Amino acid sequence: MLGVLAGLKQEATVIRRYLPDAPVALSNANPEGARRGVERLLAAGATRLLSFGCAGSLSPDAPPGTVIVADHVRFEGRDIVCDPKLSCAFGSTYARRGGILHSDTLVELGLEKALYFSETGCLAVDMESGVVADAGVPFVVLRVVCDDATRDLPPAVKTSVKNGAIHIPGLLGSLMRHPLQIGGLIRLGREAAIAQKAMASFLKANPPQT
């Protein structure tokens, strides 16, 4: 049985359209949530795992909207290879291939992104795929890039997600403390919309063959 780990409720809604019978757990876009989610999926009987959702770009050649079916995940200094058969079932022939870097902390700065790209060659980063890769079962990673590798993330990104959805009090509080980030948030919102549209189009053209 395939189990799905998604970052946010919106992402879970998207993948459920194509995998209605698969159990889905939310990570709430953090590694501890990912660990709890993977534990729930395995306890429910999952023998294969999908890491699904958004990722932060590390490569200038992976702009917002780039759909990635990873060939490996860099986790704690080692490269864990994604299952080739599962990757093919999720459209690897038609997606960008490359590595996903797992980070236990949010990679916020453009300089950090450039450093990680130089060190690892990974196309993008998230805080969940390493947990999926380390679970000891066959896995696949389907992610879409939702920001620009050269830009810093607005400070509100740290406080604006709670329980798998946008947390308005956290967002407003950050805006009050850092009002100059409004332009960055608007830009990030546009990039997120591009990513959502790209993933929807990819899944429609390449529905999972599981």
Rounded distance, CA 93 to CA 156, Å? Answer: 36
In a domain, 58, yes or no: yes
138-159 pLDDT tens trace: 999 999 999 999 988 766 566 5
Q: Which domain holds residue 69?
A: 2-205
| HEC secondary structure over 73-87 | EEECCEEEECCHHHH
In a domain, 12, yes or no: yes
Q: How many domains would you assign to the chain?
A: 1
- Structure confidence at residue 167 as a pLDDT band (50, 70, 90): very low
CATH code for the domain in which residue 50 is found: 3.40.50.1580
Which is nearest to 8 in space by CA: 128, 116, 122, 180? 128
In a domain, 60, yes or no: yes
**Where is average pLDDT lowest: 48-57, 76-85, 175-184, 190-199?**
175-184
In a domain, 180, yes or no: yes
Q: State the pairing for strand pair 72-75/78-81.
A: antiparallel
Q: What is the mean pLDDT of the chain?
A: 89
pLDDT at 171 over 70: no
Per the listing, tokens 């060659």 go with: 121
In a domain, 210, yes or no: no
In a domain, 72, yes or no: yes
106-117 pLDDT tens trace: 898 899 999 999
In a domain, 132, yes or no: yes
